Structure 1
Amino acid sequence: MSLREARQTHLLKVFLVLSAIYTLYLAKTLFIPLVFSAFVALLLSPLVALGRKIYIPRTISAFVLIGLLIAPFTFLGVELVKPAERWMETLPKISAELTEQINEISEKFENEQNAAQLKAEEEKKRKEAEEASFFDRLFKDDEPEPEVKKEEAEESVVTGKIKQGSIEVLLSLLASAPFLIAQMFGSVILILFLLIFGPALFKVFIQDFPVVVNKDRTVELVGQIQKRLSSYIITISIINGLLGSATAAAFYVLGVEDAILWGALVGMLNFVPYLGGLISCTILLMVGVVQYGLVSTAFLPPAVFLCINILESQFITPAILGKSFRLNPLIIILWLAVMGWLWGIIGVLLAVPILVCIKIIFEHLHVLPHWVKLLESDG
Structure 2
Amino acid sequence: MLNSMLSDRAIRIMLVILTTLALCLALYVSKSVMAPAVFAVVVGIVVSPIADRLHRIGVARVLIASSLLLFSCAIIVLLFLSLEPLISSVVEDLPKIKREIKSWVYMLSGLLRGIEAISQEIEETVGSGAGAQDLATGFPTLMDALWVAPNFGAQVFIFIGTLFFFVLTRNDIYAAAGPLGKRLYRAEHDVARYFAAVTMVNAGLGLATAIGLAAIGIESAWIWGLAAMLLNFVLYLGPLVMIAGLTFVGMTQLGGAAAVMPPALFLALNITEAQFVTPSIVGHHLHISPLVVFLAIVFGLWIWGPVGAIVALPALLWAGQLLRTASAEPKMNETPVA
Name the TM-score, length of structure 2 as normaliser.
0.83
Q: Is the 8 A contact 1:62 1:195 kept in 2?
A: yes
Aligned mates of 1:180, 1:252 — CA distance in 2: 36
> Which of 27, 37, 47 is matched with 2:30 structurally?
27
Please list every run of 5 or more consecutive structure 1 residues that lacks an aligned counterpart in the other structure: 115-146, 207-214, 368-379
Aligned mates of 1:172, 1:229 — CA distance in 2: 41
Higher Cα Rg, which structure: 1
Paired residues, number: 319
3-state DSSP class of the match of 1:265?
helix
Match of 2:102 in 1: 100
User: Alpha-carbon deviations, 1:167-210, whole Å to 9, x = none?
Assistant: 3444289849745565345313321222123433444x43xxxx
Aligned mates of 1:172, 1:335 — CA distance in 2: 34
1:302: Cα distance to partner?
A: 1.0
3-state DSSP class of the match of 2:47?
helix
Please list every run of 5 or more consecutive structure 2 residues that lacks an aligned counterpart in the other structure: 329-338
Q: Is the 8 A contact 1:99 1:159 kept in 2?
A: no
1:262: Cα distance to partner?
A: 1.3
Aligned mates of 1:242, 1:283 — CA distance in 2: 20
1:43: Cα distance to partner?
A: 2.3
Match of 2:169 in 1: 197
3-state DSSP class of the match of 1:56?
coil
> Which of 281, 287, 303 is matched with 1:342 structurally?
303
User: Alpha-carbon deviations, 1:269-288, whole Å to 9, x = none?
Assistant: 21122232222112211110
User: Alpha-carbon deviations, 1:247-288, whole Å to 9, x = none?
Assistant: 112212222011122112222221122232222112211110
User: Taking structure 1 as reference, are residues 157 and 224 closer, same or farther at Cα in structure 2, changes over 3 Å only?
Assistant: closer
> Which of 363, 375, 378 is matched with 2:324 structurally?
363
Aligned mates of 2:82, 2:25 — CA distance in 1: 40
Aligned mates of 1:10, 1:104 — CA distance in 2: 57
Which amino acid is the alignment partner of residue 334 of structure 1? L
User: Alpha-carbon deviations, 1:318-362, whole Å to 9, x = none?
Assistant: 112212111222222222222221122211122211221221122
User: Taking structure 1 as reference, are residues 237 and 157 closer, same or farther at Cα in structure 2, changes over 3 Å only?
Assistant: closer
Aligned mates of 2:247, 2:191 — CA distance in 1: 34
Match of 2:210 in 1: 248
Equivalent residue runs for 1:277-296 within 5 Å: 277-293=239-255, 295-296=256-257
Aligned mates of 1:336, 1:156 — CA distance in 2: 32
RMSD in angstroms over aligned alpha carbons? 3.0
Q: Is the 8 A contact 1:96 1:163 kept in 2?
A: no
Residue identity over aligned pairs, in percent, reads: 26
Match of 2:331 in 1: none
1:80: Cα distance to partner?
A: 3.9
> Which of 47, 52, 55 is matched with 2:50 structurally?
47
Match of 2:334 in 1: none
The answer to whether structure 1 residue 322 and structure 2 residue 283 are counterparts is yes
Name the TM-score, length of structure 1 as normaliser.
0.74
Aligned mates of 1:361, 1:301 — CA distance in 2: 40
> Which of 60, 63, 69 is matched with 1:66 structurally?
69
